Each structure stands twice: as C-alpha cells, then as structure tokens.
Amino acid sequence: MAAKPGIPKGTRDFSPVEMAKRNYIFNTIRDVYHLYGFQQIETPAMEMLSTLMGKYGDEGDKLLFKIQNSGDYFSGLTDEELLSRNAAKLASKFCEKGLRYDLTVPFARYVVMHRDEITFPFKRYQIQPVWRADRPQKGRYREFYQCDADVVGSDSLLNEVELMQIVDTVFSRFGIRVCIKINNRKILSGIAEIIGEADKIVDITVAIDKLDKIGLDNVNTELREKGISDEAIAKLQPIILLSGSNTEKLETLKNVLSASEIGMAGVEESEFILSTLHTMGLQNPIELDLTLARGLNYYTGAIFEVKALDVQIGSITGGGRYDNLTGVFGMSGVSGVGISFGADRIFDVLNQLDLYPKEAVNGTEVLFINFGAKEAAYSMNVLMQVRAAGICAELFPDAAKMKKQMSYANAKSIPFVAIVGENEMAEGKLMLKNMESGDQSLVTANELIAVVKK
C-alpha cells in the first residue's frame, strides 16, 4: 500500500467551511480598509534575497526560506567551498531568491520601483501569504496570511490615529474583545540613553519584548548576557514595570526622560495619538505599554500590538512607524507607518469563541432534488430565477436515490431542499422542505425566494 501523502509542518489544508470562514475575515478587513481610502496591491511570493536580507535583524534573517537557483548551481563553487559544508555560505552562492518574510519590506521595494507612478501619500493594503522558517507551534505557522495597511509619504500622526481606528473597527465587527497596546521606539531609545546604554538599544528592545513570554528574571538574565551592566538593569526595572493610567504613565515618563531629547519626542507623539483617540471614543481599550518593543529593527516611532482578551494567544495585530525603511533601497526621506492583521490567529480566535455569523459560513442555501431529465429541466429554469435573486443554489447532477441526495444536503448543511415531481410541475410549483424543522410547503418560484431570503 502506497504511503499516505503529507504536507510540510507548519502548513495546512483548508476545507470549504474553513475557506468560507477565512474569506469572512479577509472580506471584513478589506471592507474596513476601503472605508479609509486604502488601495490594494500585490507583490510576488518570491523576492531577491538582496531585498530581504538585513531588514529583519539577525533572528529574522535566519528564518528566511531561501529558494535554490535553477540549473547547475554548483558551477560557480570550488571544491573547497563544497567540502566546507558551511550551510550559510553555500546558500548565499546558489540561492538568489527567497520567499517573502512579511509584506512590509516588499512594499518598500514596490514604492521605490514605482515611485514615478505613485501619488503620495500612498495608502495601500495587501492581503497575501508570507513564509517563515519558524518552529511550528499553536498559533504560529510557517505559511500564513498577513493583511497589511500602510501609508507612506506622510509624517502626520493622524495616520497612526486612523490605523488604530481601523484596528478598533475591525475587531468590533468581528465581536472580538481586544486591548490595543501602543509604545514608541523613541521612548525606548530615551530609556536606553538615560540608563547609560544608548548603543545597546536593539539588545534592550529584543529582550524586553519577551517579557510576557519568559518573565522579568529571564529578561534580566538576557540583558546581562548582552553586556548590559547591573546598574543599568536596576534603573530599567521601574520603567518597564510602570503602571497606572495612560496619562499617569506619560507624566512619569516626562519626568524620567526630561534629559533625553529623543525620549521626550516619543512621549509627545504618544500623548498626541492617545489624546486624539480618547476624543474618538474607541470601542476597545488602548494602553501605553513600555514593555512593547517589537523586535524588528525598522520601527522608528510609534509601535502597536493587539491582544485578544478572551483567548490565550499571541499578538493578533501589530505594526508601527518606519521612517527610514525605503532608504535601504536608495530612496530616503519617505516616512511610512503600517499595521498587519494576523489572519491565521484571528481565524483561531473566532473559532475558539464561536463568533462566525451563520450567513458568513453557509454555502448553498437551496438544493434542487434531481428525479430525472424532465424534472431537472424544470428545476434549471427555476434555478435561474433563484440565482438571479442572489440565492446560492444547486441542482444535484445525477438522478440518484432520494436518500443519497438528502444526505448530500445534510453533509453540506444546506438549509432548504426543493423537490420537483410530476404533481409540482403540473401546478407550476415546487415542494420546499426546511431541513432544520422538517416542514414542507408547496410554493411558487417567487415564494421560494421570499422564504429563503427571510
């Protein structure tokens, strides 16, 4: 017996029901993006490795899926290089392309390549899969979708405000209770400066970003391993564990960071975003969280993360300001800010909380039973009217036994079955059966449409 086929770890097949749920997620997010004037683009699954490498830090570079060159990729290698078994060096020789790690860096590349065609500020959204050679675990996959929205070509903090309104609107539509967390890389830089470790900002942010996962003691251990002094670590403790309301935290930071120009700039930006959103009356709470660091190197200003309140899972949305991202592609002076919805984690949250509306996941609404050629021809004429009214309907293709056709309707959770026999055709009607209640009634095509739509 042949071995059963499989798929790579960290990837998944999706059934018709699961795809209906996923499309509900994508369509909800897409609709909200449109409300705020964002336009859709797509970029290739593959990018040149030169585009991707060095944009995500050392940890991110290790998680890039590299694509082997076609043809004789050994031709440019010496025997010495082959025998060295140096995986990283060999990969750099015969891998010129890689699968995209996120949608932000490809977007930056797109902006630079198409700068003459773009009207700034450019508000784009993108819903596509990305790939990471990560260790698969609950809520973390090697292939997953991101739903990004970015604005480039504007320094205005109103962009940050609108993105947080988008987050709030999307999760309100889903019915998921969330906490929106906000911080600013300038605040973190100011903290590093006042504790005397300004050159260790990346090490500090990478470590404290793990606070929720590994705890304070392990964060402090990691900071020591990075060469940060015990004195500096001691100064850091009350700052990263700061509590109180957003206003109270900001007032404390104004005192603590008064000697740091960059730190105060971050406080002012955060104060503007939070105070403006306060007047908007968001449905979900927004919290200034100094432990939020987001390890990616390209964030330079405000940073965001969204946590579900009723499910234990990692961040389900994140993003931030990345003033200098397009600079690495030779286009300086273009400011950008964006967010990314983690569609796969949102899928898991909606499943756990059973929040999918029935109309979003139901497919066929009426199945026409097939008793033979004459009955099928009659049904096809009615089907045209039913579909024209926007009702999803199908005719069973074969004149099979009634039991088989009804089992098909049950398996697909089809709520109504239309039965057409000689008597129904003689009267110009159909027998409509409600599969949930079992009730049956003789109806015209128009009455069928009214019943199903109701």
Digit-coded pLDDT (tens) for 413-438: 999 999 999 999 999 999 999 999 99
DSSP SS3 for 453 = helix
Q: Where are the beta strands (DSSP E) in 188-335?
A: 286-288, 302-308, 317-321
Q: 362 and 19 in contact (C-beta within 8 Å)?
A: no
Report the pLDDT value the prediction gives residue 203, as an integer from 0 to 100. 78
Asked if residues 371 and 396 have their Cβ atoms less than 8 Å apart, the reply is no
Residue 142, SS3 per DSSP: coil
Tell me 326's DSSP state: G
- Per-residue DSSP letter, 390: T
Does residue 162 share a domain with residue 26? Answer: yes
- Are 28 and 133 in a shared domain? yes
Q: Is 236 one of the annotated binding-site residues?
A: no
Same domain for 178 and 32: yes
Domain that holds residue 114: 22-41+102-353
The angle formed by the CA atoms of residues 219, 220 and 222, to the nearest 5 degrees, is 65
Distance CA(21)–CA(351), nearest Å, equals 9
What angle is formed at CA 55 by the lines to CA 106 and CA 299, rounded to 5 degrees?
95
The response to whether 115 counts as a known ligand-binding position is no
In a domain, 5, yes or no: no
Residue where a domain terminates, one of 304, 319, 353: 353
Confirm if 301 and 185 have CB atoms less than 8 A apart: yes
Same domain for 155 and 191? yes
Cα(first)–Cα(last) distance of the chain, in Å? 51
Would you say 168 and 180 are in contact if contact means Cβ atoms under 8 Å apart?
A: yes
Each residue of 74-111: pLDDT tens digit?
A: 666 666 666 666 666 666 667 889 999 999 889 989 99
pLDDT at position 240 is 75
Find out whether 299 is annotated in a ligand binding site.
yes
Instruction: Provide Rg for the chain, Cα atoms.
Output: 28
Q: Is 68 part of any known ligand binding site? A: no
Q: Is 128 annotated as a binding residue?
A: no
The residues that bridge with 308 in the sheet, in sequence order, are 178
What integer pLDDT is reported at residue 285 of this predicted model? 97
Predicted confidence (pLDDT) per residue in 178-215, tens digit:
999 999 999 988 988 988 887 777 777 778 778 778 88
Report which of 170, 163, 205, 164 is spatially closest to residue 184, judged by C-alpha positions: 205
104 is in an annotated binding site: yes
| Residues 333 and 369 reside in one and the same domain | no
Give the helix/strand (H/E) hosting 452.
Answer: helix 445-453
Of the three residues 353, 385, 406, the one that is the final residue of a domain is 353
- The low-confidence residues of the chain, meaning pLDDT below 50, are none
CATH code at position 420? 3.40.50.800
pLDDT reported for residue 74: 65
CA distances from 238 to 131, 204, 377, 415 (A): 38, 15, 77, 59
How many beta carbons lie within 10 A of that of residue 59, not counting itself? 11
d(CA 442, CA 436): 17
Whether residue 437 sits in one domain with residue 345: no
pLDDT at 88: 63
Q: Write down the pLDDT at residue 333.
A: 84
Q: Is 103 labeled as ligand-binding?
A: yes
Residue 224 shares a structural domain with residue 291 = yes
Which H, E and C letters describe 330-383, residue by residue?
CCCCCCEEEEEEEHHHHHHHHHHHCCCCHHHHCCCCEEECCCCHHHHHHHHHHH
By C-alpha distance, which of 349, 351, 344, 340 is closest to 141?
Answer: 344
Determine the pLDDT at residue 91.
66
